């Protein structure tokens, strides 16, 4: 309870989770709306969105490290070529930019999973219901908000649960890209557990931290399940 670095890691992990989870859900839903339709070339877009998922977290992190190199990185060259910036950006030397860079990498890396799960949920909604609402004059927004979303509640719950759990267990991307810096501003809970176990050799202490992390995950997961549970399943 008196470990300041641990509580800082908890706050940072919560901040990271609150940023990446809505991005994965809303952006994933928007792209799922596009690829759920059948049109020429849709298979290419589905494969392109899902392709980064098969790349390992560490490999994806190293790819982004190459893209953000100050002198040779593609990102800075594009931004300077378009006149958006006049000098290389502090991708990993500023705490806010470091978090933004990791969020950008994780969005590219894991968004495909959210898209596929949400698309499957959308396709499970009976087409007859959509056609009936269309005949009743319901707008596109009302069809999505009052029909599609309630009927795919379980898919949304699964996406939220996977993203929340993955965010709380974030390690590879920060370990490779930021090393917890600058000034330990990007230390996640798992990174602090790793540091205590394999750098400081405080195995008992790291085990206690792991149990506390497990308790936090169980609390958040149960809360999500209760909040998004289909009311018909409770009756």
- Name the CA radius of gyration of the chain, rounded: 21
Least confident of 87-96, 176-185, 219-228: 219-228
52 or 131: which leads in pLDDT: 52
- Predicted local distance difference test score (pLDDT) of residue 235: 46
- Predicted local distance difference test score (pLDDT) of residue 101: 93
- Predicted local distance difference test score (pLDDT) of residue 231: 53
pLDDT tens-digit series, residues 168-213: 999 999 999 999 988 889 999 999 999 999 999 999 999 999 999 9
- Predicted local distance difference test score (pLDDT) of residue 135: 82
pLDDT tens-digit series, residues 135-153: 888 888 888 888 888 888 8
Q: What is the pTM of this model?
A: 0.88
Domain ranges of the chain: 4-230
CATH class given for the domain over 4-230: mainly alpha
For residue 40, name the pLDDT band (cuts at 50, 70, 90).
confident
Tell me the pLDDT of the chain averaged across its residues: 88
């Amino acid at each position: 309870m008196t470990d300041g670095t641990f509580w800082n890691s908890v706050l940072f992990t919560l901040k990271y989770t609150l940023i990446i989870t809505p991005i994965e859900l809303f952006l994933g839903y928007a792209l799922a709306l596009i690829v759920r339709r059948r049109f020429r070339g849709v298979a290419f877009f589905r494969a392109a969105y899902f392709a980064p998922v098969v790349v390992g977290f560490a490999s994806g992190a190293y790819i982004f490290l190459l893209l953000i190199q100050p002198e040779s990185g593609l990102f800075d060259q594009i931004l300077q070529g378009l006149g958006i910036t006049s000098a290389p950006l502090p991708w990993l030397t500023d705490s806010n930019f470091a978090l933004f860079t990791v969020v950008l990498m994780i969005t590219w890396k894991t968004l495909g999973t959210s898209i596929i799960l949400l698309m499957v949920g959308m396709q499970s909604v009976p087409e007859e219901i959509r056609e009936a609402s269309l005949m009743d004059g319901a707008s596109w927004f009302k069809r999505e908000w009052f029909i599609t979303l309630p009927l795919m509640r379980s898919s949304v719950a699964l996406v939220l649960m996977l993203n929340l759990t993955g965010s709380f267990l974030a390690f590879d991307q920060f370990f490779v890209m930021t090393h917890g810096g600058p000034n330990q501003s990007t230390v996640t809970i798992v990174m602090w557990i790793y540091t205590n176990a394999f750098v400081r050799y405080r195995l008992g202490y790291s085990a206690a931290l792991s149990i506390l992390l497990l308790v936090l995950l169980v609390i958040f997961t149960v809360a999500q399940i209760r909040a998004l549970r289909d009311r018909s399943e409770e009756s």
